[in-house]
Amino acid sequence: MEEKLEEEEFEKLVELEELKEEEKFEEEEEEELEDGGGGGGRRREEEEEEELEEELKEEFKEKLEELEKDEELEELKQELEEELKEDEELEEELEEFEEKLEEKLEKEEELEEKEEELEDDLEEELE
């Protein structure tokens, strides 16, 4: 996830640089075409460029925040899945323990019954 974030960040930076170069090239072409009376138009273009740059930076920031949130959510999801797995394992262990306990109780009851039978038999023999 972090790799994807870095890749997208790099792509945005490359895109920003390409836009800057393209704008610079267009600006140079316009300067060649202008005969000195277009200074106000140039300022407007610079302002538009700055606005575009700010918009791109803000958009990049938002996407970066979204990616960070996505990454955090993915980590939380993994943690929950691990906890669920642990809970299931504990539940299985508990079931096994309960089964063993039931078996022991049954054996104990059987032993008590046998003991009673033996006592009864012994009493009969003694009489």
CA–CA gap between residue 49 and residue 60 (Å, rounded): 16
CA–CA gap between residue 42 and residue 35 (Å, rounded): 12
Q: Tens of pLDDT along 20-64?
A: 888 888 887 777 776 554 555 678 888 888 999 999 999 999 999
CA–CA gap between residue 81 and residue 52 (Å, rounded): 43
Q: Tens of pLDDT along 91-121?
A: 999 999 999 999 999 999 999 999 999 999 9
Are the C-beta atoms of residues 49 and 16 closer than 8 Å to each other?
Answer: no
pLDDT for the residue numbered 41:
66
Amino acid identity for residue 64 in this structure: L
Q: Which domain holds residue 10?
A: 2-126
Number of structural domains in the chain: 1
User: DSSP of 42-54, one letter per residue?
Assistant: HHHHHHHHHHHHH
DSSP state of 36: S
- pTM, full prediction: 0.45
